[in-house]
Structure 1
Amino acid sequence: MTSDAVVLRRASGADALAAADVWLRSFTAALPTVHCAHDQAEVRDWFARVLVPKYETWVAVTENSVVGLLVLNGAELKQLYLDPAWRGRGLGDRFMSLAKRQQPDGLALWTFQANESAQRFYQRHGFNAVERTDGLRNDEREPDIRYIWQP
Structure 2
Amino acid sequence: MNSDDVVLRRAGPADALPAADVWLRSFDAALPSVRRAHDDAEVRDWFSRVLVPQYETWVAVTDSVVGLLVLNGAELKQLYLDPAWRGCGLGDRFMSLAKQRQPDGLALRTFQVNQSAQRFYERHGFIEIERTDGLRNDEREPDIRYVWQPQQ
Normalised to the residue count of structure 1, the TM-score between the two structures is 0.99
Moved over 4 A (4+): none
Shift in Å at residue 109 of structure 1? 0.2
User: Secondary structure of the equivalent of 2:136?
Assistant: coil
CA distance in 1, matches of 2:60, 2:2: 12
CA distance in 2, matches of 1:132, 1:111: 10
Aligned to 1:29: 29
Per-residue displacement from partner, 1:104-146 (whole Å, max 9, x unpaired)? 0000000000000000000000000000000000000000000
Aligned to 2:106: 107
Aligned to 2:68: 69
Per-residue displacement from partner, 1:3-25 (whole Å, max 9, x unpaired)? 00000000000000000000000
Number of aligned positions between the proteins: 150
**Structure 1 residues 101-140: aligned runs within 5 Å:** 101-140=100-139
Per-residue displacement from partner, 1:67-94 (whole Å, max 9, x unpaired)? 0000000000000000000000000000
Aligned to 2:12: 12
Tell me the percent identity: 84
The answer as to 2:56 corresponding to 1:56 is yes
Shift in Å at residue 32 of structure 1? 0.5
Aligned to 2:77: 78
* Structure 2: gaps of 5 or more residues: none
CA distance in 1, matches of 2:144, 2:49: 27
CA distance in 1, matches of 2:91, 2:35: 24
User: Secondary structure of the equivalent of 2:92?
Assistant: helix
CA distance in 2, matches of 1:90, 1:68: 12
Amino acid at match of 2:61: V
CA distance in 2, matches of 1:135, 1:50: 23
User: Secondary structure of the equivalent of 1:111?
Assistant: strand
The answer as to 2:40 corresponding to 1:40 is yes
